[in-house]
Chains A and B, each alone.
Chain A
Amino acid sequence: MAGPHEILGMSRELGITTTEFLALYADNGGTTLRFGADGRCVFVTTAGCKVHPRRPLVCRLYPLGRATDGTGEERFAIFPPQPDCGAETGSAGTVESFLESQGVGPYLEWSRRYGMLYRRMLGLLDRIGVEGKVEAPAIDGPADGRVDRHPVESAPLSSWQDIDASLADYCAAKGIAVPSRIEESIDLHLRAMQEWLDGLEAQIEAVPADPEEAKKP
């Protein structure tokens, strides 16, 4: 698993753009990290993880797994130890102290903020589906390279997963400078997505339930 903010962090650690990262190191529509032929994450070397300072949340949590229910209550579980895992493990300490030692705080907060956008997306999709406002599929749709088309495994499912490209477009449109710090970039990415959803929501609200009725004088 790798969210757009985590891909940004790892990209910076490697000195490449998120566009390059997605092409080189992501699979399953840009949602998971690539595994080598030996089944290992491509970043795991004999010297350790190549992106360790910016490793994703799932790696920070391991050997713990985390789940939250609909009310936000979180639970943790311990995965069975992997025989070939070289990580130091132990049972001393608490879950809280472990999480603190792994620096998960900002990652959980980013996950929560992206989660809010995700729930909003589901709500919009539900409204579109229920109200039947989706236009019929075009036979020859636009193919300008920025549209999310039918995904192939290595291509990102959404252009929003590519933070560098998304922010380049957003900042150019707004006439503002692209931020250089990771945290600022993530904040701006969240804001850009928020504005995108605001626009979609306004568009959906503007569409009449019965377009034929709306055409009448």
Chain B
Amino acid sequence: MGNKKVPETVSRRDVLRLAGTAAAFCASFGFLHGSQVGGVVQDKHTQEHKAPGMRWEQAEIRWYSGNTLLHSSAIPAKVMKHLQSDVNATVEVKLFRSGQLLRNLGTIEAKH
């Protein structure tokens, strides 16, 4: 039996092409892991055109039950002003009882 030619690696060229194509499809279709999005990029561009330097102009607090939207309200003006003042501005939402921290619900960042 002669020596069987065994490939030792997948070529860098093939891997680059595979990675490049996956990246291109991810961006051009809006594919994430197992999902698709339509319209987000277009909306981002138009928002940027409307308000250069600040990508958002309205913030809401929304109440959900599961996936059902129950109610929404604009966030307090002071918080809005703070978030719009600086792309690095953050707001934390925390639950307290008798002055004792029970839970940190998370941080809202001005940039997105």
Contact = CB atoms under 8 A, between A and B. Distances in A.
B41 interface: yes
Nearest to A70: B34
A39 B51 CA distance: 11
Interface string A134-162: 11111001100001110100001111110
Overall SS of chain B's interface? helix
A203 B25 CA distance: 22
Nearest to A69: B35
Interface residues of A, number: 68
Interface residues of B, number: 42
Given A57-B38, A121-B25, 7 more contacts: A29-B27, A32-B28, A79-B39, A147-B17, A148-B17, A158-B17, A207-B9
Given A66-B38, A66-B39, A67-B38, A1 B12 contact: no
Interface string B19-50: 11111111111110111111111110110111
A1 B41 contact: yes
A204 interface: yes
A125 B21 CA distance: 11
Interface of A: 1-4, 28-32, 35, 38-40, 57-59, 61-62, 64-70, 79, 82-83, 85, 111, 114-115, 117-119, 121-122, 124-125, 128, 133-138, 141-142, 147-149, 151, 156-161, 193, 200, 203-204, 206-208, 211, 214-215
B11 interface: yes
B33 A115 contact: no
Given A134-B15, A207-B10, A151 B20 contact: yes
Given A83-B50, A124-B18, A3 B39 contact: no
B16 interface: yes
A160 B50 contact: no
